[in-house]
Structure 1
Amino acid sequence: MAFPLHIQNVDEDLAQELMEHYTGELTGFVRVGPSGYFLPHKYKEQAKDIYNMPIRSDDTFVVTYPRSGTTWTQELIWLLKNNLDFDTAKKTPLGNRFPYLEFSVLVHPVYEKFMIEENKESPARLSSVQAALLPSAQKAANIPSPRFIKSHLPLSLLPPGLLDTAKVVYVARDPRDAAVSHYHLSRLYRIQGAPKDFKTYWNYLIRGLHHFAPILDHIKEAWKLREHPNLLFIFYEDLSKDLPATIRRVAKFLGKQLTKDQILKLCDHLSFNNFKDNSAVNEMLLGKIDFLVKGEAPFIRKGKVGGWRDYFDAEMMEQADRWLLQNLADSDLRFPSWDLSYKTPSKGINAINVEYIRAKQGRD
């Protein structure tokens, strides 16, 4: 079928401004659909094929806004579906076991050539790079069943029959923490790039001007579908606060039964200290070539809930509260770690909306 959503090029002047920061993009950007999802220009080439990609009944998808617990959840799901095969998990890069669907959309053709050239002397790495760079639908078609697929695209840009056919685990995270983590990742990757200061990045993000944004629309799409039997909606904060309980939830959703001992082994494997030192998780296609910026934070960084407070000044905290209130006033979505930074609504904020949100959170 034809791709049903309007794709519009970002204004050339704005695109040029953004490309000074997002240095991995050399052509421009697009905004997609009513929410105006922000993506590299290359998305236009693959939108229809992704939307029409055949879904298999034994597929398992992890869908998130970037840096929302994606990798953590991928590893958990793969182990649950593969009878806790820790040995294979430790030996095989997660990207090979659980491929990133639209990775090629993010890699400009100029950088594609660099990646292939830099890896040509290592057949194994070259093969992995070439597989990762395949157009999304072709990549998915090449994965043997049962497939495990990661995507940062919102549900509205994925195949419309996805939830009626396959299992989807959606993970959401406090947007402020996700923003800090995505900022560091973008600065780490030369194929993305980010402003030198977080405040500039944040002001672009809340305008929906970063890959896969607007983040709240992304999350609200999944939240509205959380009762669908093939969708499990979980929060990053729950993974962090009570990993055993979240493991049980995911296992039940996937039809798996675990003993107490198996849950303990999973918790140990997935504990943050072990996870950040796991080479199969941290082995990145770009890690052995000159595409990682030296001195930037590693791929697995801190995983801290509420760490955003170290990056927001008072003005940004109030701005973030206002942004959250305005964008969630029409939804009962709440984040487990959300606590308003101020007690009295600031000028310009609808006090009714403030009370509405607080009531939804049991804070009235």
Structure 2
Amino acid sequence: MSFPYEIKSVDPELNKEILSVFSGERQGYYHVGPKKYLLNSSYAKEAAQYYNVEVRPDDVWVVTYPRSGTTWTQELVWLLNNNLDYDRALKERLNERFPYLEISVLVHEGFRKDIIEYNNNDPDCIEALKKMCEPGYEAVKKMESPRHIKSHYPLSLLPPNLVDTCKVIYVARNPRDVAVSYYYQNRLLKFMGFEADFAKFWDLFQRDSVLWAPFWSHVEEGWELRNHPNMLFLFYEDMKKDLPAAIRKVAAFLNKTLTDDQVAKLVSHLDINNFKNNPAMKQIPDVIKGMERDGEPGFVRQGKTGSWRAEFTPEMSAKADAWMREHEKHTDLRFQL
């Protein structure tokens, strides 16, 4: 299979630094392509397979940088495209209805062995872990159409015919809120296993040294395609500010018509308090123990905008402002505060 980009190991000192605070990865990190997207050892072995995934015309993809409102958008999109089937949406985990393409590359083989041992070789755990870690490029082949697929890969690392073939929704969020949410997720999920404080995480985030970075390159790839007829570019902040309007915009993109009552019911279903307590949002099957760290906020955390202010020191905030101004020199993309 062809793959057009160079994959190079990151500088040894940087690799050592990242590995020292992320316990999930066991081997190391790579820079991919001219934008130097940071990805891990499993990706380096499977890059071509993901780049060459077969795309179907009736697919719907949600693509985001992590922690940009992905799960929220997935649930909305799936319901709109499945005749508002709330019964199924409440019973069947979102990850099964709307799978995460590259989840398998995040769970290092060494970590999988540790989890199996932690679960005392429980057959149900082994089977669930096997299903969870099936390479996404194999799993999506087996899906019936219309498929719904989530990915955090930047568009340049996904199939080159993606946007010309099917509908893609890209969601962007203020990077300061992204970083805070991403920090808590990386602490929660042991296969990511971040072991330091937020100041260290933000330092790595700004230096494009966390998975899927650089943030700006990732978002700009979506922004550049915002006028393509098959692309819907959304801001998380707009969705939070006026969810009914966002629902109608996504429905129109998917060629769906909604009554006011249907919009109101979707708004209620997607309300953060209902959403975070919905068992279908659970990311890890119950039979797999030890994948999440005790004492951390859940996968669906606050769903707020501007919560970064509670986490940033004045010095960090000043550096973040300068970092954003520097990047805004090169794009007309602007984030709401």
Structure 1 and Structure 2 fold alike (TM over 0.5): yes
Determine whether 1:168 maps to 2:168.
Answer: yes
- Separation (CA, whole Å) in 1 of partners of 2:127 and 2:80: 27
Alignment of 1:262-277 (within 5 A): 262-277=262-277
Kindly indicate whether structure 1 or structure 2 has the higher relative contact order, using CA contacts under 8 Å at least 6 residues apart.
2
Tell me whether 1:102 sits opposite 2:102 in the alignment: yes
8 Å CA contact 1:68, 1:178 repeated in 2: yes
Corresponding residue SS for 1:15: helix
Shift in alpha-carbon separation, 1:291–1:37, aligned structure 2, 3 A? same
Counterparts of 1:66 and 1:204, CA distance in 2 = 15
Partners in 1 of 2:259 and 2:328 — Cα distance? Answer: 39
Counterparts in 2 of 1:279 and 1:65: CA distance versus 1, 3 Å: same
Report what 1:294 is aligned to: 294
Shift of 1:113: 2.8
Does 2:311 match 1:311? yes
SS of residue in 2 equivalent to 1:171 = strand
Aligned to 1:16: 16
For normalisation by structure 2, the TM-score amounts to 0.96
Q: Using the aligned pairs only, state the percent identity.
A: 49
- Tell me, what secondary structure is at the counterpart of 1:304? coil
CA shift, 1:12, in A, is 2.3
Q: Distance in 2 between matches of 1:138 and 1:69?
A: 26
Q: What RMSD over aligned residues (CA atoms) do the two structures have, in Å? A: 1.6
Q: Deviations over 1:147-182 (max 9, x none)?
A: 111000000000000001111100000000010000
CA distance in 1, matches of 2:159, 2:286: 29
State whether residues 5 and 33 of structure 1, in contact with CA within 8 Å, keep that contact through their aligned partners in structure 2: yes
Q: Distance in 2 between matches of 1:76 and 1:188?
A: 24
Gaps of 5+ in 2: none
The Cα offsets for residues 25-82 of structure 1, whole Å up to 9 and x where unpaired, read as 0100001111111111111111001111110011110000111000000000000010
Aligned-pair CA distance for 1:284 = 2.1
Cα offset, 1:6, TM superposition? 1.1
2-side partners of 1:216 and 1:93: how far apart? Answer: 31
SS of 1:42's equivalent? helix
Residues 128 and 142 of structure 1, relative CA distance in 2, 3 Å threshold:
farther
Structure having the higher Rg: 1
Q: How many residues align?
A: 336
5+ residue gaps, structure 1 = 339-364
Task: Please give the alpha-carbon distance, in whole angstroms, between the structure 1 residues aligned to 2:236 and 2:307.
Answer: 13
Correspondence list, 1:1-364, <5 A: 1-115=1-115, 118=119, 121=122, 123=124, 126-285=126-285, 288-335=288-335, 337-338=336-337
Deviant stretches of 4+, over 6 Å: none
Distance 1:154 1:324 in 2: 20
Q: Please give the per-residue CA displacement for 1:311-348, whole angstroms capped at 9, x wherever unaligned.
A: 1111111111111111121111011x23xxxxxxxxxx
Which is worse superposed, 126-135 or 84-93?
126-135
Q: Which amino acid aligns with 1:79?
A: L
